[in-house]
């Protein structure tokens, strides 16, 4: 299975039989549970001077300063910052209008010039933690064109992730002000986030609390392997795809090494 954090549990939950009445590989009841995203905060500073940031590489710097747990911060685990370059001409216009910084009519051009090439910012990718009530189930009504039940997603941002976001915004504001920003704005969490889908068929050594074993094989079904974001145990505060690729290679390697006894 490699249909990622929503597609994989959807297929498993739809695959019911007398042996697996609650879905394939779901004796533990964990399939679909522990759905994690990456709550993402975007923080932008506006400067008097031109920065020329749009000419540089995107995401030029990354910081792991706040990645590990420090309980004095009031939350577990942490986040990384990605330092974004400034926005270019069209995105300044679109972003500026959306944020209410560039009015139509009189003053439009002055307001545009005030922020064009004069902003830069940070994104904070927060490590969501597994919570069983955040989950993928099957929608009781909605179906695809083949009549197969669609996935339904229930997710509530945890207090831990909310505290992490608040801390990330506050430190990013400090950074931008120290760098000379005359104004700082933020979105937290950004509403269009939720592209990283993790945790819904998690890995573990205990068949009662996990779906696949430590090398990606289903505890219940010995010829079923999962190689996507659903086997993550936490979300890690970084973009997930290199880790998904590494897990796919790792599981493939394990299969090769264990070929003689793979299904025992």
Ligand X SMILES: Cc1cc2nc3c(=O)[nH]c(=O)nc-3n(C[C@H](O)[C@H](O)[C@H](O)COP(=O)(O)OP(=O)(O)OC[C@H]3O[C@@H](n4cnc5c(N)ncnc54)[C@H](O)[C@@H]3O)c2cc1C
**Beta-bridge partner residues of 135:** 154
Shortest Å, Cβ 114 to ligand X = 30
Asked if 9 and 32 touch (Cβ cutoff 8 Å), the reply is yes
Interface residues for ligand X in 182-241 (CB under 6 A)?
Answer: 195-196, 228-229, 239-241
Contact status: 23 vs ligand X (CB under 6 A): no
Please identify, using beta-carbon distances, which residue of 121 and 184 lies nearer to ligand X: 121
Shortest Å, Cβ 106 to ligand X = 37
Asked if 196 and 37 touch (Cβ cutoff 8 Å), the reply is yes
Among the candidate windows 2-10, 16-24, 33-41, 95-103, which touches ligand X by CB under 6 A? 2-10
At 241, which helix (H) or strand (E)?
helix 241-257
Q: Quick one: tokens of 188?
A: 């937290």
* Cα separation, 139 vs 35, whole angstroms: 16
Contact status: 134 vs ligand X (CB under 6 A): no
Please identify, using beta-carbon distances, which residue of 2 and 249 lies nearer to ligand X: 2
Shortest Å, Cβ 246 to ligand X = 11
**x/- letters, 3..22, toward ligand X (CB under 6 A):** xx--x---x-----------
**Beta-bridge partner residues of 217:** 225
At 11, which helix (H) or strand (E)?
helix 4-14
Residue whose tokens read 């976001």:
165
Residues of this chain that bind ligand X (CB under 6 A): 2-4, 7, 11, 195-196, 228-229, 239-241, 244
């Amino acid at each position: 299975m490699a249909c990622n954090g929503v597609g994989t549990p959807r297929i498993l939950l739809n695959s019911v039989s007398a042996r697996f009445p609650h879905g394939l590989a779901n004796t533990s009841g964990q399939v679909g549970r522990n759905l994690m995203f990456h709550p993402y905060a975007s923080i932008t500073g506006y400067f008097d001077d031109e920065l020329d940031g749009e000419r540089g590489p995107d995401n030029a710097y990354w910081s792991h300063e706040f990645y590990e747990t420090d309980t004095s911060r009031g939350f577990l685990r942490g986040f990384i910052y990605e330092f974004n370059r400034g926005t270019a001409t069209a995105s300044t216009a679109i972003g500026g209008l959306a944020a209410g910084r560039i009015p139509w009519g009189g003053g439009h051009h002055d307001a545009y010039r005030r922020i064009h090439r004069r902003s830069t910012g940070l994104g904070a990718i927060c490590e969501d933690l597994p919570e069983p009530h955040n989950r993928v189930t099957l929608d009781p009504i909605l179906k695809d064109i083949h009549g197969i039940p669609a996935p339904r997603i229930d997710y509530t941002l945890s207090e831990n992730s909310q505290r992490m976001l608040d801390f990330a915004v506050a430190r990013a504001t400090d950074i931008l002000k120290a760098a000379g920003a005359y104004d700082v704005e933020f979105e937290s969490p950004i509403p269009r986030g939720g592209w990283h889908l993790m945790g819904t068929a998690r890995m573990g050594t205990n068949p009662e609390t996990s779906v696949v074993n430590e090398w990606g094989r289903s505890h219940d079904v010995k010829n079923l392997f999962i190689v996507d974001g659903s086997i993550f145990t936490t979300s890690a505060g970084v973009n997930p795809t290199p880790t998904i690729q590494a897990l796919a290679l790792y599981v493939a390697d394990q299969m090769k090494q264990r070929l003689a006894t793979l299904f025992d």
